[in-house]
Chain A
Amino acid sequence: MTTIKGNSAEEIKLLNKEQDGYDGTNQQTQSEGFAGNLKYLIVGVFFGIVFVKAEIVSWFRIQEMFRFDSFHMYGVIGSAVVVGLLSLQMIKRFNIKTVSGETVSIPPKQFNKGQIYGGFMFGLGWAITGACPGPLFAQIGSGFLVVIITLLSAIAGTWTYGLLRSKLPH
């Protein structure tokens, strides 16, 4: 584990690479302005609609999953992985480029113990709130305004992790 004292870009990069490899990375070299980013908002809109219409945002559906009473959530996640896997294989095999002509690049995930401890903690919270981060936003959009508190608390949780990071086992 590296101890970070200064905050040069180099060191932050190193830190990220060793412990974090954060998800949702942007590997595009060209920057996109506000208008360019709007396309991700549109993808998000479709995504949010699917979340609600397939009832993935439902606390009850999550309970069914963890109680083995329904195949629904297993079917959703399983078929999503199959489609994701097949598309990535096609992108790699045929070297399909992005719309702006760049080579598709996905940073690999680095193993650290956070995936065990953090994963377990998230699992606890998932069953209590009935939501992972994505559905939190969709629940708020669905009118469950009280979930704003859950979201704020999740942001506080992320912040606390950032604060305690160097003291946690990785």
Chain B
Amino acid sequence: MEIFELLHKPWPWYIAGPIIGFTVPVLLLLGNKSFGISSSLRHICAAVIPANISFFKYDWRKEAWNLFFVAGITIGGFIATYLLTNPDSLIIADATKYSLTQLGITDFSGLMPKDLFSVDNIFSLKGLIFFVLGGFLVGFGTRYAGGCTSGHAIMGLSNLQWPSLIATIFFMVGGFFSTWVLLPWLLQLVN
């Protein structure tokens, strides 16, 4: 009874973080797999549209585990949202709420702001910036950097790899720049 109630509530960082960290040894011991998610995007390219580009000519089937992993993440997202539904609305730090309100965000009820992430915005400037441009930067940047938050920040740092530390620092630098400089400008542009 009690435990079910706890499962439905948002999980604190000190539960979630260690579980995520624990994925590192689990994947290694299950089948010698290094934790990393952004490679799945490359495997999709290799499987679907290799277009004779040498970067996509490799045996992606050997790396198919990564595609199973992201399929699982999608299913997990579904289970968490529809079966372990949070009874309350999202609690956002007041300061963030205030800053975002100033920038024109009005809806704070869900995990994502409906002002931006709604189907109505697909064919608008909002969609072009927040889905198309944003997604492109994520896909291009992670591959250029050789990994994402999971491959570099978690797996790489856990394995004491200094290139991963550099990558993680620049993830954060990019994020700060985007949040403090780019986002105010972009939101002004679309509102």
Residues in chain A within 8 A of chain B (CB atoms)? 4, 7, 11-12, 15-16, 19-28, 31-32, 36-60, 62-67, 69-73, 75-85, 87-88, 90-91, 96-100, 102, 104-112, 114-134, 136-147, 149-163, 165, 168
**In whole Å, how far is B180's beta carbon from the nearest beta carbon of chain A?**
8
| A150 x B134 contact (CB < 8 A) | yes
Q: Which of B4-32 contact A (CB under 8 A)?
A: 7, 10-32
Question: Across the interface, which residues of B come within 8 angstroms of A150, CB to CB?
Answer: 130-132, 134-135, 138
Give CA–CA (A155, B116) in the complex, Å: 21
Q: B-side binding surface: helix, strand, loop or mixed?
A: helix
Neighbouring B residues of A51 by C-beta, 8 Å = 73, 76-77, 80
Q: With CB as the reference atom, state the residue of chain B lying closest to A92.
A: B159
Contact A42/B77 with A28-B32, A107-B34, A128-B130 known, Cβ cut-off 8 Å: no
Which chain B positions have C-beta within 8 A of A132?
37-38, 138, 142, 148-150
Contacts A40-B31, A79-B17, A161-B140 given; indicate if A24 touches B36 (C-beta within 8 A): yes
B111 x A64 contact (CB < 8 A): no
**1/0 contact string of B91-117 vs chain A (CB within 8 Å):** 011111001100000001001110011
What is the predominant secondary structure among interface residues of chain A facing chain B? helix
Contacts of A115 in B (CB 8 A): 145-146, 152, 163-164, 166-167, 170
Q: Are B56 and A162 closer than 8 Å at their CB atoms?
A: yes
How many residue pairs link A and B with beta carbons under 8 A? The number is 574
Assess the B117–A49 pair: CB atoms within 8 A: no
Q: What is the size category of the interface that chain B forms with chain A?
A: 35 or more
Residues of A close to B113: CB separation below 8 A = 59-60
Q: What residue of chain B has the Cβ atom nearest to residue A117's Cβ?
A: B144
Q: Are A109 and B146 closer than 8 Å at their CB atoms?
A: yes
Of B63, B68, B99, chain A has the most CB atoms within 10 Å of the CB of B68
Chain A residues with CB below 8 A from B134, complex form: 125, 128-129, 150, 153
> CA separation between A132 and B121, bound complex, in Å?
21
Q: Given the complex, which residues of A lie within 8 Å of B56, measured CB to CB?
A: 159, 162
Chain A residues within 8 Å of B79, by CB: 45, 48-49, 141
User: Which A residues touch B156, using CB under 8 A?
Assistant: 23, 109
B162: contacting residue among A107, A111, A127, CB under 8 A: A111
The smallest C-beta distance from A144 to any residue of chain B, in angstroms, reads 6
List 10 tightest A-B contacts by C-beta distance, closest first. Answer: A123-B174, A44-B72, A48-B76, A118-B144, A23-B151, A141-B77, A157-B139, A23-B36, A83-B21, A125-B137
A84 touching B154, Cβ below 8 Å = yes
Residues of chain B within 8 A of A48, CB atoms compared = 72-80
The CA-CA distance from A84 to B40 in the complex, in Å, is 21
Residues B175-191 near A (CB distance < 8 A): 175-180, 182-183, 186
Interface pair B111/A55, CB less than 8 Å apart: yes
Contacts of B34 in A (CB 8 A): 23-25, 27, 106-107
- Contact between B69 and A40, CB atoms less than 8 A apart: yes
Complex-state Cα separation, A40 to B84, whole angstroms: 22
11 pairs from A and B in contact (CB 8 Å cutoff): A23-B38, A25-B36, A26-B31, A45-B73, A57-B77, A69-B96, A124-B175, A141-B74, A153-B133, A154-B135, A155-B44
